[in-house]
Amino acid sequence: MSALSLLPARRPVPGVFVALTLTLAIGWLVVLLDGGQLFNQSTTVSLLHVAAGLGLVAVGQTLVILGGSLDLSVAYVISLSTLVAAETMNGSDGAVLPAIGLVLAVSAGIGLFNGLLVTKLRVNAFIATLGVGLLLKGYLDNGYDGPAGTTAPSLVQSLGYQRVGPVPVSFLLLVAVTAAAWFALSRTRFGHHLIAVGGDPEVARLSGVRNDRVLVTAHMLCSMCAGLAGIYLASRLGSGAPRVGTEGLYDLESIAAVVIGGTALAGGRGGVVGTVGGVLLLASIDAIFNQLEVDAFFKQVIRGAIIIAAVAVYARRAMRKAA
C-alpha cells in the first residue's frame, strides 16, 4: 500500500484481486471438504492454460474498451488465426516464424479495417465489429467444415504443452503481453492518449490528440492479441479449428473479463492488470467447479450471475464516489 501512496495518480489495485483471493480461498476449502485438492499440479496447470487463452484476447480487448470502443470480431479473428497458422505451417518446423508473421499481419489488417470503420466512417463500434465478425464468419463457414492444417510439432511442444514448474509457457506469454500493454498504457504517449480519448473524445481532440490514429492503433493491437490467442490455440489443438473462437465465446467472455477487472465499458478508466485478475477469476471458478464436478451448464449460470454482480458492485462504488 505504501508503494501505491507514492503514486497518487495511480488507481489502487481493483477489487477483483480481493474477489480472486476470496474465491480461491473458499474454493480451496470447499474442494478440500469435498475430498479433493484444488492446487495440485494438474488443476493449476489447466487453470493457467484456460487463463492464457482468454487472457491474451482480454488484454487486447482492454485496450479498445479503454479507448471507448469495443471489439466483437475477436472470436472470428481467433478462429481465422488458428487456420492461417496451421495451414501455413502444415506440420513443418521451418515455417513457424513465417506463419506467426502471417497471422499477425492478417489480424493487424482486420484490426486496421475495424479501426477505420469506427473512426473514419464513424460506424458505431458495436455494429462495425459485429459486421466484420459476420464477414469473417461467412468466409469460415463457406471454406471450412472442420479442422484444417497441422501445427508444427515444435510449436505444439513449446507453446502448447511446455511449462516451467506448474506455469505453462503460454501463461508466461500472457504475462509478457500484459507487461507490454501495462507499460504502453502507463508509460507511453500512446497509452495516455488512448485513455484521454476514452474519457472524453472531444476534450482529447481539442488538446491535440489525434483520436483516429490512437483508436486505429488500439484496434490493431486488439486484433493482434486475438491473433496471438489463435496461435496459442492452434498449438494446443495441433490444427486449425474454424469454430474454436465462437464456441469458446471469446468475444463476450473477453469483454466480461475486462469489465470484471474494473475497466469501465464506456472507456477512459481501468487497466490491463485488472483484466488479468478478471480472467484469473473466471478461470478459477471454472477450475473449482471442475473439481467439484459441477454440471457444466450450472457453471454457466453462475458465471452469468457473477459477471452481473461484479459490475453492479463497481457501479455502486462509482456512484458513491460521485455522490
Partner 1 sequence: MQTVQPRSLPLRLPRVRPGGVLPILLILAVLLVLVGIRQPDFLAPPSLMSFLGRSAPIILLAAGQYFVIVSGEFDLSVGSLVTAQVVVAARLIDSDPARTWPVVLLLLAFGALVGLVNGLVTTRLRVPSFITTLGMFLILVGAVYLWSDGAPKGGLSEEFRRFGRRAFEDVPLLGRVPYALLVLVVLAVAAVLLMRSDFGRTLVAVGDNPRTAELSGVRVWRTRTIAFILSGLAAAVAAILLGGYSGVSFQAGAGLEFGAITAVVLGGVALGGGRGAVVGAMLGALTLELLFALMNFYGVSGALRSTVQGGIILLAVAVSATRSSSR
CA-to-CA separations, 29 to 40, 243, 288, in angstroms, rounded: 14, 36, 10
**CB nearer to partner 1: pick between 167 and 265:** 265
207-266: contacts with partner 1 (CB under 8 A): 252, 255-256, 259, 265-266
Q: Dihedral of the CA atoms 56, 58, 63, 67 (nearest 10)?
A: 160
Least gap, CB of 53 to partner 1 (angstroms): 18
Least gap, CB of 308 to partner 1 (angstroms): 4
- Which range touches partner 1 (CB under 8 A), out of 33-41, 47-55, 207-215, 294-302? 294-302
Least gap, CB of 11 to partner 1 (angstroms): 19
Cα 216–218–222 angle (5° rounding)? 115
* Number of residues binding to partner 1, judged by CB under 8 A: 45
Q: Are 119 and 220 in contact (CB under 8 A)?
A: no
Instruction: Provide the grid cell at 110.
Output: 482486420
Least gap, CB of 316 to partner 1 (angstroms): 7
- Which range touches partner 1 (CB under 8 A), out of 7-15, 136-144, 214-222, 225-233? 136-144
The answer to whether 148 contacts partner 1 (rule: CB under 8 A) is no
Q: For residue 163, give the 3-state DSSP assignment.
A: strand
The answer to whether 127 contacts partner 1 (rule: CB under 8 A) is yes
Least gap, CB of 237 to partner 1 (angstroms): 22
Q: For residue 167, give the 3-state DSSP assignment.
A: strand
**CB nearer to partner 1: pick between 104 and 255:** 255
Q: Dihedral of the CA atoms 249, 254, 256, 259 (nearest 10)?
A: -170
Q: Which of 256, 244, 223 is nearest to 132 (CA)?
A: 223
Maximum Cα–Cα distance for the chain, whole Å? 61
Give me the amino acid identity at 151: T
The answer to whether 301 contacts partner 1 (rule: CB under 8 A) is yes
102-121: contacts with partner 1 (CB under 8 A): 117, 121
- Which range touches partner 1 (CB under 8 A), out of 37-45, 77-85, 268-276, 289-297? 289-297
Alpha helices in 144-210, H assignment, sequence order: 153-155, 169-187, 189-199, 201-206
In the shown chain, the binding pattern of residues 264 to 283 toward partner 1, with x for contact by CB under 8 A and - for none, equals: -xx-----------------
Rule CB under 8 A: choose which of 13, 123, 148, 237 binds partner 1: 123
Give the C-alpha separation, 110 to 116, whole Å.
10
- Where along the sequence are the contacts to partner 1 (CB under 8 A)? 117, 121-124, 126-128, 130-139, 141-142, 252, 255-256, 259, 265-266, 295-305, 307-308, 311-312, 315-316, 318-319
